[in-house]
Chain A
Amino acid sequence: MPDFQCPKCGASLQVKPGTQMATCSFCGTVTYIDRRSALFFYLLPFSIDENAAKGIFKRWTAGPAQAKDLESSANITKFAKEFFPVFRFRRTVNGKEAVFVKPAKGTLLPGMQDLTIPPGNIVIYDANASTKGADVIQPDIAIDSYLPELTGTPIDQALVYFPIYEIAYTYKGAAYQAVVDGSSGAVYTTSSPTRSSGAYIAVMGLAFTLGLLGGILGIMVSPIFFVLVIAGFFAGKLLAARVVERQKPADAEVKAE
């Protein structure tokens, strides 16, 4: 973070993120900040702690798209709290403001290819900023490598560190990765063990078939056959209960190793 001094009195100047004007707290001088050539360092603090992040991962494993026993059988092998760096360029392109986000670190982590800065409270990253014990991943791509390829003229540019939980887990012998955004709680994955819809379709198909037979026979042969529709309901409900029933995990806590 560049150190600013008031051009009038020389006192140090507090510059808030995203502002163009700063007022000196000593002499009251208002200063315009020309951000075109400076690189600002920002940080999005964690608003989700480790336990909540583990809980969010567990909630995700119990979702309807995931394998039914994923919640009870997923075995977390890595759980890391990190700050991931990206460059954010605000530029004027054809007279309009455009925002470009580029990675400052090569990565294969899920969700980091979308390169969106998650919603959060952006603060200045300097010696006073607390990282709360998270690893700050250092950028390995220089800002210079992007500048020539960007169109338009600069308004400002910043290196933004945003909070993530990197999770590696195994399920039935295969390894998977997930990222939980430490600010809003979004879960990013590339591939994950999914649940088949087969059992769901089979159960409803059976109830449907019984209902269908009941309807046809009830009209054509005897109203007594309408009972089959009711039988279809109970058969469907009982079997469906088996399908949706969850195995309670032996250990309720998802543990990091």
Chain B
Amino acid sequence: MTEAQKILVSMTCPSCGGQVQCEEGEDLVLCKFCESVFALTTDEGANKVMYKMTVDKDKALAKVRDWWKTGPKAQDLVQTAQVTEAYPMYLPFWRLIARGKACVCGIEEERRGKDNQKVEIPREALINREYIYSEIACETGDLGIQSIVIPERAQAISYDDQEIVTFGVTSSRDNAYEAGGRAIRQTAVEDGGARMDKIYFSKSFFFPKAFTLVYYPFWIVRYSYEGRTYFATVDGITARVVSGRAPGNAGSQSTAAGIGGALSGGLAGFGIGLAIVTEGTDVGIGVLVVGIVAAVALLGYFYNRFRYGDEILEGAVNGKGLKSGRTQKKVQPIYNETYDYFK
């Protein structure tokens, strides 16, 4: 027997010797000749689902052009940027649907009455919700996509090798399953303790319902601006720009420096001045505190826009730059499957 022959295991029915058909991920097989049912003990496969791409190239490019106009991106981006390539692809995601249950006990602090007395109210929450966890099943590289939400209108199609490039799975199925369970339990506890200021006790469980390998469509659009290559990815079903990089706007950066510096300085100065003029009354001190807090927040916000505004980062892309948009959370609740109890 050669090395190659050793790794092929013929699949015939153990009862009648007829040829059996089975699909990846199945663990029970029915022989179509003698109708005997038998179990397969191969590696446990995950079910695969692929969603149909419904956004065409023109729409994806139009969405990227709209995105160029938003935020503090280079002013001449729409006029001068050149799309160099745009191609569709499928990315793999591990998706765990599970019921997350948590019992959380703690207290909520409230200030009541004239003298603002702190009152502790004991709270108890029993969380019983269905959650969906999804996590990309390959390295993220510079795609900036970590997780997905599958829209209602998404149409599942059978998984087969099509012309569209499908990225390979490189992460461990069991690691993803464990990480998903942990994340769902943690979210259930967080949801239970959302109104509590202190949590004294919590216990959580998760009951898996489905674990699937999902292939979800995206467009990758690469474009050049001043000889540099930037990119954006567009959701292949909702047409939203989910991640990308774009050149920043130097004008916005310098304006941010001017506004941030002068305004926060002015606020702090106003607070200090008022505190001195009013000779330390409660009102003066109050304005001073509010002014300084606001000044620090403004200074931080505008400094970030000034210092890192050379490049705008959308989604979960790595590196220095001005973050914009939101990163898709890995755990999402299914609201109509919620049976919570709060006390």
CA distance A100 to B280 in the complex (A): 65
- Least Cβ–Cβ distance between A72 and chain B, in angstroms: 11
Contact, CB under 8 Å: B7 / A215: no
- Least Cβ–Cβ distance between B95 and chain A, in angstroms: 17
Determine, out of B97-105, B113-121, B137-145, B192-200, the stretch whose residues face the partner at the interface.
Answer: B137-145
Contact, CB under 8 Å: A220 / B22: no
Question: Is B282 an interface residue when CB atoms closer than 8 A count as contact?
Answer: no
Determine, out of B49-57, B127-135, B301-309, the stretch whose residues face the partner at the interface.
Answer: B301-309
B residues 264-286 near A (Cβ < 8 Å) are 264-274, 276-277
Question: Is A213 an interface residue when CB atoms closer than 8 A count as contact?
Answer: yes
Interface residues on A, range: 35 or more
B residues 235-261 near A (Cβ < 8 Å) are 245, 247, 250-251, 253-261
The residue of chain B having its C-beta at the shortest distance from the C-beta of A229 within the complex is B266
Which residue of A33, A55, A122 is within 8 Å of B227 (Cβ)? A55
Determine, out of B59-67, B159-167, B325-333, B335-343, the stretch whose residues face the partner at the interface.
Answer: B159-167
The residue of chain A having its C-beta at the shortest distance from the C-beta of B303 within the complex is A204
The B contact surface, by secondary structure, is: mixed
Determine, out of A58-66, A125-133, A139-147, A168-176, the stretch whose residues face the partner at the interface.
Answer: A58-66
Contacts of A239 in B (CB 8 A): 257
- Least Cβ–Cβ distance between B175 and chain A, in angstroms: 7
Question: Is B324 an interface residue when CB atoms closer than 8 A count as contact?
Answer: no
- Least Cβ–Cβ distance between A163 and chain B, in angstroms: 11
CA distance A52 to B269 in the complex (A): 50
* Chain B interfacial residues counted at CB < 8 A: 93
Question: Is A29 an interface residue when CB atoms closer than 8 A count as contact?
Answer: yes
**Are A232 and B265 CB-contacts (below 8 A) given A52-B229, A98-B172, A208-B299?**
yes
Contact, CB under 8 Å: B260 / A204: yes
A residues 189-247 near B (Cβ < 8 Å) are 197, 200-201, 203-220, 226, 229-241, 243-246
Question: Is A20 an interface residue when CB atoms closer than 8 A count as contact?
Answer: yes
CA distance A181 to B139 in the complex (A): 12
Selected A-B contacts with CB under 8 Å, 18 pairs: A17-B168, A29-B11, A33-B7, A64-B308, A64-B311, A122-B168, A186-B141, A204-B257, A204-B306, A208-B261, A211-B265, A215-B265, A216-B276, A219-B274, A233-B262, A240-B255, A241-B254, A253-B227
Closest 7 CB pairs of A and B: A215-B269, A211-B265, A207-B261, A55-B229, A184-B141, A219-B273, A122-B168
Task: Beyond A7-B8, A90-B172, list 12 extra A-B contacts (CB 8 Å).
Answer: A7-B10, A8-B19, A31-B8, A42-B168, A63-B321, A64-B310, A118-B139, A187-B142, A203-B261, A213-B269, A214-B262, A215-B269
